[in-house]
Amino acid sequence: MEVEIKKIQSVTNIHLDLLLLADPSIEKIKEYLIDSEIYTALINDETIGIIIIKEIDHLKKEIMNVAVKEEHQNKGLGKKLINFVINIEKNNGTKIIEIGTGNSSINQLLLYQKIGFRIASIERDFFSRNYQEVIIENGIICKDMIKLSIEYK
Ligand SMILES: CC(C)(COP(=O)(O)OP(=O)(O)OC[C@H]1O[C@@H](n2cnc3c(N)ncnc32)[C@H](O)[C@@H]1OP(=O)(O)O)[C@@H](O)C(=O)NCCC(=O)NCCS
C-alpha cells in the first residue's frame, strides 16, 4: 500500500468531509483553513487523509485538524501524517508544535503521546463554550480542550 503525502492549496468537498470527522464545526474549519498549510495522504490517487497546520508565531505552529478516512483508520496513517509535518517543521526551525484535543478523545490522547507530544495545558469548558452541539465520545461529554506540545530547543 503506497501512501503519497502531497501539499495542496485549496480544499474540495472530499477534503471538507474528512476534516468534519475531526471537527464538527464547518465554520471553524473554514476559519482556520484561511492561513494554514494543508497536506493530504493519497492511495492510488484517492484522498484518504488530511492534516492542517497553522502558524501561531514564527517559532510556533499548531496542528488544527488531522483525519483519516474511516476504513483506513488504525493502519498507522494518522501517525504518518503527523510525523510528516513534524519533520518539515523541525527542518524549518519551528520550535514548538502544538495539537489540541478533547478530554473525551482517549485514542487521540494515546496517539499524540506515543508520537512524543506532552500535555502542556488544559482549557476548561472550551468545547462547552465554543460548540453549540454537545459532543459525546467514549461515553463522556467533551468539555475541556487538552493542549499537547512537542518542543525543540
Ligand atoms: C485520530 C486519527 C487521525 C488517527 O489516525 P489513524 O490512522 O487511525 O491512527 P494510527 O493508525 O496512526 O494510530 C497510531 C496509534 O494511535 C493509537 N490508536 C489510534 N486509534 C486507536 C483506536 N481506535 N484504539 C486504540 N488505539 C488507537 C494506537 O495506539 C496506535 O499506536 P501504535 O502505532 O503503537 O499501534 C483517526 O483515527 C481519525 O481520523 N479519527 C477521526 C478524526 C479525529 O478524531 N481526529 C483528531 C481530532 S483531535
DSSP letters spanning 10-39 = S--HHHHHHHHHH-S-HHHHHHHHTTEEEE
Q: What is the pLDDT of residue 19?
A: 98
CATH of the domain at 109: 3.40.630.30
Decide if 50 contacts 63 (C-beta within 8 A).
Answer: no
Closest CA to ligand 1's atom 45: 22
As given in the structure block, the three cell numbers for residue 48 are 484518504
Give the closest residue (by CA) to ligand 1 atom 23: 107
pLDDT at 40: 98
Residues near ligand 1 (Cβ within 6 A): 21-22, 66-68, 73-79, 101, 105, 107-108, 110-111, 114
State whether residue 65 is helix, strand or coil.
strand
Residue to mutate (ligand 1; options 29, 108, 126; most atoms within 8 A of CB): 108
For residue 26, the model assigns a pLDDT of: 93
pLDDT at 148: 98
| CA 29 to ligand 1 center in whole angstroms | 20
Domain span at residue 128 reads 3-151
Q: How far apart are CA 99 and CA 83, in angstroms?
A: 13
Q: What predicted TM-score, i.e. pTM, was given to this entire model?
A: 0.94
Which letter does DSSP use for residue 88 in this model? H
Please give the mean pLDDT across all residues of the chain.
96
> How far, in Å, from the CA of 100 to the mean position of ligand 1?
14
What is the rounded CA–CA span in Å between residue 133 and residue 49?
25
- In this predicted structure, which of 10-19, 79-88, 129-138 has the lowest mean pLDDT? 129-138
68 C-alpha to ligand 1 centroid (Å)? 9
Q: Confidence band (pLDDT; 50, 70, 90) for 1? A: confident
Question: Which pLDDT score, from 0 to 100, does residue 135 have?
Answer: 92
Which segments of 35-115 are extended strands (E)? 36-43, 46-57, 60-68, 96-102
CA distances, 141 to each of 29, 73, 127 (Å): 21, 23, 9
20-41 mean pLDDT: 95
Question: d(Cα 118, Cα 70) in Å, to the nearest integer?
Answer: 26
pLDDT score of 153: 81
Parallel, antiparallel, or unpaired: how do β-strands 60-68 and 96-102 relate? parallel
Q: Parallel, antiparallel, or unpaired for β 96-102 and 145-151?
A: antiparallel
User: What's the whole-number mean pLDDT along residues 34-53?
Assistant: 97
In the predicted model, what is the mean pLDDT of residues 8-15? Answer: 96
DSSP type of residue 70: G
Domain count, the chain: 1
| pLDDT reported for residue 70 | 97
pLDDT in tens, 68-114: 999 999 999 999 999 999 999 999 999 999 999 999 999 999 999 99
Quote the ligand 1 centre to 150 CA distance (angstroms): 18
Nearest CA to ligand 1 atom 12: 76
